[in-house]
Structure 1
Amino acid sequence: MSKQCTKPKRKRDEQWFKDKMLLVQAQANRQVLQEEELEFLADPGIAETSSTQYAVTNNAAYQA
């Protein structure tokens, strides 16, 4: 049986990851995010990986 998708997959390119990382940083800084931004962060199509964690940690190290 094939899986029926109701939404087309989002293009995941460099800009997509940059936007995601900026929203994670904003949330870490306790900024209030809009509903649309929260939905983007909670995208079930991607699991949090070590590369995402590395990017946030790496950027935080340079800000110190």
Structure 2
Amino acid sequence: MSFAKLFDQMRSAFDQKDENKRKENKALDVSLDILSKAAKKTEDRSKRIKEDKIRGVRGTRHRISL
């Protein structure tokens, strides 16, 4: 095997590794984005529930009115 052929194979292997790394990074970015949106929605929902409980809107369904 010539050095040029070996060099080309090594270069293509490194290029493929770089491409896979870029794909992994993109997938990680997308995952983190989804998780951050879900956390924000959960935080907003928790805040809204707390505010509703303070106002007395939540938790009144099962109370008996006399």
Fold-level similarity (TM above 0.5): no
- Of the two, which has the highest radius of gyration? 2
Higher relative contact order (CA 8 A, sep 6+): 1
Instruction: Give the structure with the higher percent helix.
Output: 2
TM (normalized to structure 2)? 0.31
